[in-house]
Amino acid sequence: MKMTFLGAAHEVTGSCTLIECCGQYGLVDCGMEQGKDIFENQEIPVNPAEIDFVLLTHAHIDHSGNLPLLYKNGFQGSIYATEETCNLCRIMLRDSAHIQEQEAEWRNRKAKRSGADAYVPLYDMNDAEGAIARLHPVHYGSTRQIGEGFSVRFSDIGHLLGSACAEIWLSEGETEKKLVFSGDIGNLNQPIIKDVPSTIADADYVVCESTYGDRLHEHPKDPVALLADMVQRTLDRGGNLIIPSFAVGRTQEMLYFIREIKERGLVTGHPNFSVYVDSPMANEATGVYLQCGTECLNDRAKALVRAGINPLMFRGLRTSVTTADSRAINLDPNPKVILSASGMCEAGRIRHHLKHNLWREECTILFVGYQAVGTLGRLLHDGAEKVKLFGEEILVNAEIATLPGKSGHADRDGLTAWLSGFEQKPQLVFVNHGENTVCDNFVAHLENDLGYKAFAPFSGTGFDIATGAFLSCPEGIPVAKKKTKAESTSVAFQHLLDVGNQLPAVMQQYAGHPNRDVSAFAKDLDKLLKKWSRHLN
């Protein structure tokens, strides 16, 4: 029995952990890294064709986004997830493949003009469809045997529709152990879905996320009123309220709030103001939310549905599907609200809306979710005065705002509240899915304040589950920084000096050689110097 930590180790994205038991291999999550890559990640140490299954805690791309790549590289096993996660993954993996193909098409147009090598996408739509075909839904609360020595049960963790923590029972010979992976633990007081994460009674070892492991959220009494105030003052200025929003989860929450704003008449002077959802994936995901079973909903959302009220629809809501639809939004001079993906502004149509609105003082950019280090969203959130979009430098004149408390992740107290649900403390809590210092701070909090034994592994850490011994415990290897143009130039110039310094010794070697050879060398050297002197002039 062995566990190897691969992704989201001292980083927030790219969740991936390998488990071995009875000669079988399984992954918990297979996510794509998003934003700045801080530490080198070990590659999956076995051939993907040898991996028997993947347990998927939820559909977000930082947990699911490399499933098509796994399939492309030979994976033929099963992917187990809740039914709602499977439904969302069908949308999200296709969208991710579409983005990969679009980027490859754009890069290859440039490569053709410059004569550079062709760019191969990370994966394509065929790979996404191959991964989707391997999805197997599992009901919350049911225990499923997924291989010799492996059983799993998913419980609602309140982060996203379909999100789950995974209880994993391992049995090999006479040794039995239980692992629990928290997945992403949900924040409290969320709209639409159940927001009280299920607690688990027991585990030998727990792997716990730590996105907000060293801070506490603000919990405004009325987030709807706060959002209404931002809508009001932006529309009053004649501007657009731009909300970079994750297509799955956060977009639906914003629609839920805006429906209530309109129902309560909280914005005045702008009757039936327009709200655009400019994300085909968000529109599809909203359909999944509207079709999910009521057992996934919180009491208030259930009451709306039972009263015949669509909790995500209202007058003035407009959806854009085609590229032409999206472009038309920025031709509309009327003040409006625009919800668009991606939530961290790294890709998608939101970048076009930022290009058209960032420079306008009357507009507002409202962040409603986590912004990872290295993303455009984080730069704007942290006060950048100008950014580059589509090769053009754009001034940041718009108001930059954040809706407090609108994270899908539990804060430090929420994380520890979930851990306190275990009837006995686990033998060890592995802390992952957090920025470098956050992981360390959360470990210190668990050990010093709460009496847990905790550890934050770096990528490549191996652990013997049967004996409780570490098999490998590497330090993190920082990703090498790319040299700036100035640094690259200085390196090249130093190389030129090194070559030049060798010239006197070579010239001395011609002493005593025939005049013909000396003259030929001098002639070649003279031609070379004249050629490069002309080049500089």
Give the domain CATH number at 273: 3.40.50.10890
In a domain, 537, yes or no: no
520 inside domain: no
- Mean of all residue pLDDT scores within the chain: 92
- Identify whether residues 85 and 146 lie together within a single domain: yes
Residue 229 has a CB neighbour count (10 Å cut-off) of: 13
Instruction: Report whether pLDDT(492) > 80.
Output: no
Residue 94 pLDDT more than 70? Answer: yes
Pick from 402, 431, 457: which residue ends a domain?
Answer: 402
Judge whether 518 lies within some domain.
no
pLDDT band at 232 (very low <50, low <70, confident <90, very high): very high
| Exposed e or buried b per residue across 7-27, where buried means at least 16 C-beta atoms within 10 angstroms of its C-beta | bbbbbbbbbbbbbbbeebbbb
pLDDT in tens, 415-429: 999 999 999 999 999
CA atoms within a 13 Å half-sphere pointing along the CA-CB vector of 194: 16
35, 93: one domain: yes
- Looking at the chain, the whole-number percentage of residues with pLDDT higher than 90 is 74
Structure token digits, residue 17:
């952990």
Give 3-state DSSP helix, strand, coil % of the chain, rounded to 5: 35, 20, 40
Indicate whether 45 belongs to any domain: yes
Same domain, 203 and 263: no
Q: Is residue 116 very low, low, confident or very high in pLDDT (cuts 50, 70, 90)? A: confident
Does 367 share its domain with 452?
no
Whether the pLDDT of residue 74 is over 70: the answer is yes
CA angle 223, 226, 230 (to 5 degrees): 140
Same structural domain, 27 and 129:
yes
pLDDT of residue 393: 95
The average pLDDT across 197-202 equals: 92
User: Which pLDDT does position 534 carry in this prediction?
Assistant: 66
Residue ending a domain, among 372, 387, 402, is: 402
Q: 126 vs 72, 263, 269, CA distance in Å? A: 9, 44, 50
Section 431-439 average pLDDT: 97
Question: Confidence band (pLDDT; 50, 70, 90) for 490?
Answer: low
Is residue 487 very low, low, confident or very high in pLDDT (cuts 50, 70, 90)? low
* Residue 91 resides in a domain: yes
Among 23-32, 51-60, 107-116, 423-432, which is the least confidently predicted range?
A: 107-116
Closest CA to 177 of 422, 419, 457, 467: 467
pLDDT at residue 119 above 70?
yes
How many domains does the structure of the chain reveal?
3
Question: How far is Cα 507 from Cα 500, in angstroms, rounded to an integer?
Answer: 11
Same domain, 148 and 184: yes
What does the pLDDT look like over 368-397, one tens digit per residue? 988 888 899 999 999 999 999 998 999 999
Confidence of residue 254 (pLDDT cuts 50, 70, 90): very high
pLDDT > 70 in the chain, percent: 97
Residue 336's domain comprises: 223-402
494 pLDDT more than 90: no
Grade residue 519 by pLDDT with cuts at 50, 70 and 90. Answer: confident
CATH of the domain at 92: 3.60.15.10
Question: Which pLDDT does position 485 carry in this prediction?
Answer: 53
Task: State whether 207 and 227 are in the same domain.
Answer: no
Place of tokens 């669509």: 310
Based on the domain organization, do 228 and 334 belong to the same domain?
yes
Per-residue confidence band for 185, with pLDDT thresholds at 50, 70 and 90:
very high
59: three-class secondary structure by DSSP:
coil
523 within a domain of the structure (yes/no):
no
Q: Angle at the Cα of 526 (from 520 to 530), degrees rounded to 5? A: 150
Tell me, yes or no, whether 209 and 65 share the same domain: yes
pLDDT at 201 over 90: yes
Question: Are residue 161 and residue 190 in the same domain, yes or no?
Answer: yes
Cα dist from 129 to 91, 123, 455, whole Å: 10, 11, 37
Question: Is 477 inside a domain boundary?
Answer: no
Q: Are residues 299 and 425 in the same domain?
A: no
Residue 531 lies in a domain: no
> Tens digits of per-residue pLDDT, 47-68?
999 999 999 999 999 999 999 9
Same domain for 271 and 202, yes or no, is: no
